[in-house]
A and B are shown apart, each in its own frame.
Chain A
Amino acid sequence: MGGFIGAALSVPALVYLFFSPKARKESEWVEAGDVTSLAPNQPVEMVFRRNRVDGWKVVSEKGTAWVVKNPDQSVTAFGPQCTHLGCAYHWDEGKDEFVGPCHNSLFSLDGKVLSGPAPRGLDRYETRLQGGKLLLGSLRPSSGSPA
């Protein structure tokens, strides 16, 4: 009897604590900005606002993406954090590299790891072009291993 009571209390408790919440909304596409005037292979940091579900709240927050227009006119948008420990990185124009300032991870223009401790290439947003506007979806972790 004790075992039954224990199970009837602990199983719901474990499910309650460890199951992830049911998703409330499908991820939405947000407009990051106009990309028609971007020069090819010149990364630009774009700032946009997006809604994020945070527990019982939906928060509107600032998001950024490093956007690169490729020579074939397609666009790549990288998540703004280094894949090592989450520091914000920047584009070094002189060296043509993304530089992680915390532990010197270096990434190439296409997001691949050139050197440093980063375990994988830069994460990418799902992208879609509508007219000249860039729409960003959810951030997908890069599957690429260090070069």
Chain B
Amino acid sequence: MRRHWEGAAEWLDHRTGARTAVRRFLTEEIPASSGWRQVFGSVAVFLFLVQAFTGVLLAINYAPTPGDAYNSLRYILTELTGGRLIRGLHHWGASMMIVVAALHLIQVFLYGAYKKPREATWLVGVALLLLTLGYGLTGYLLPWDNRAYWGTVVVTQIAGSAPVVGPYLTRLLGGGGAVGVVTFARFFVMHVIVLPPLTLALIALHIFLFRKHGATPVPGDELLPKKPFYPGQVFRDTVAIFIAFAILFIMAAAVRVPLEQLADPSDTTYIPRPEWYFLFLFQTLKLMTGPLEVVGSVVLPGLAVLALILVPFIDRGSMVRVTRRTTAMAFVALAAVGWTALTATALATKPSETPAAEIDYSGPTDWMQLSPEEMAGVAYFRQENCAGCHAIGEGGSKLGPDLTRTSIHRDAAWMIQHFKQPGVVRPGTSMPAISLSDAQLNSLAAFLLKLNPRNATALQNAPDFATQGALIYQANDCGSCHQVNGMGTSFGPALNGLSKRRARSWVEQHFADPPKLSPGSVMPPYKLSPKDLDRLTAYLFALE
């Protein structure tokens, strides 16, 4: 058997040279000092491959047009098995890619590995770093939620403010500063069609140049015998890749990447914030206002990139030990302190979010199918702790009957009678009477009549803001004029999809004075407490 394999490998090698190439790759000699510090490049390549793989998987179920993009991503997250994990891998993989690329750059910089004859390798590396940031910038828009939309509005405005090239950049990004279908198409094309082959080509060139000049030796290496790339360094690279992947996988599985509400260009209250690795630029921009703004948004970042490009041409001294490169260390320390301080300030000054922004629209949404009355029933169900005695499908106590199965045999009149006087309807029962008003008991009965083994999860998934919002909806009898999920009257407009039509601030003001915002409206004003207003609006905004 072994001889057969050997023969097959020989045959293949004779035709393709694959085996010889691999062998040459593995046996290449590297300096004696090589070690753990050189693993970052390999990890970065690995992470790029993970991004490509998960990116293709996401694209398979993704519609690259605004609106549809959001719905298809939501479909990936809520309806496809494994969809959430794959998006998690792609999202956190992007962050990790930035971290690893930065570590790689810092290591090369500290050791002076950009010096003659490795200037070109360094330049290609800087280009790869910029491409990586380009992925972050273009990929940010693709979920088409509020975060994506408003983040990109800011980015395109910054690009437009650049001296000289600003207007051209604006045109290239698809229009007069407005983010719409054209900008979306261009970002998508950059993200999945232009950048990947460019990245592949530059990675190939980067590795080619690296092999051509060899790993950078440190002073003293010339006295020691070289060692082969395999097995020592291959082992270190593999371990580093494994650790990186393990961290990535745990992040993807454990930390949920939220999907906010569908992008709403009319929402004037949304405060966009960039991804964490761009927060330092965001904060810099806050410090520079007025005519200085362009300095923070374009000039400083431009100078930083220019400085990176010029590094090997400024520092042309001979190689010295890393411990003697104090200037380089001071630069790295200064950059690290600056970055950390700016990022920390940005994080510390983050405004507290309204509950609407905290709704995770990528969560289970089965509860959205319930009518406001049924949702209010969920609130009473929780308030009265019905699950303390009753089984709900698989969950809940087993003291009382399983409510997902018994309700189909009962009607509302029986239920309400039973809530009021359990002992009369079912002699000998240990259930206590529920002291709620008739209207409240109606809601509870409406929900219990709807409850079945298939929709029982809605009970667990319904967020508190929605059940509380539904209580306010019921208390104010909104259903006497409006419809939600087909329940209510159509005297006023149906309230499903409200978030797509109106900004949150508009709706909140509308409650206080309807005719002012909708001339001719006969809706009476509602004086709700700030808390109630918040809950009701959050609930209505969650309804598709």
Contacts and interface: CB of A to CB of B under 8 A. Distances in A.
Interface in B17-60: 50, 53, 57, 60
A40 to B, nearest CB: 36
A15 B245 contact: no
Contacts of B79: 21-22, 24
Nearest to B239: A1
B53 A19 contact: no
B313 interface: no
Given A21-B79, A24-B79, A57-B71, A13 B53 contact: yes
Given A5-B242, A26-B454, A13 B72 contact: no
Contacts of B369: 25
Contacts of B53: 9, 13
A15 B241 contact: no
A57 to B, nearest CB: 7
B61 interface: yes
A147 interface: no
* Interface size band for B: 20 to 34
A21 B61 CA distance: 11
Interface stretch (B80-88, B213-221, B442-450): B80-88
Interface residues of A, number: 20
Interface in A1-51: 1-2, 4-5, 8-9, 12-13, 15-17, 19, 21-22, 24-26
B57 A13 contact: yes
Contact of B245 (A8, A13, A24, A25): A8
Contacts, number: 57
Interface in B337-377: 369
B104 interface: no
B74 interface: yes
B86 A13 contact: yes
B75 interface: yes
A55 interface: yes
A8 B71 contact: no
A2 to B, nearest CB: 7
Contact of A16 (B50, B68, B86, B249): B86
Interface in A116-143: none
Nearest to A55: B75
B63 A56 contact: yes
A21 to B, nearest CB: 4
A22 B454 CA distance: 12
Interface in B70-115: 71-72, 74-75, 78-83, 85-86, 89
Contacts of B80: 16, 19, 21-22
Contacts of A2: 238
A2 B235 CA distance: 11
Nearest to B74: A56
Interface of A: 1-2, 4-5, 8-9, 12-13, 15-17, 19, 21-22, 24-26, 55-57
Given A16-B83, A21-B80, 4 more contacts: A9-B50, A12-B82, A19-B80, A56-B75
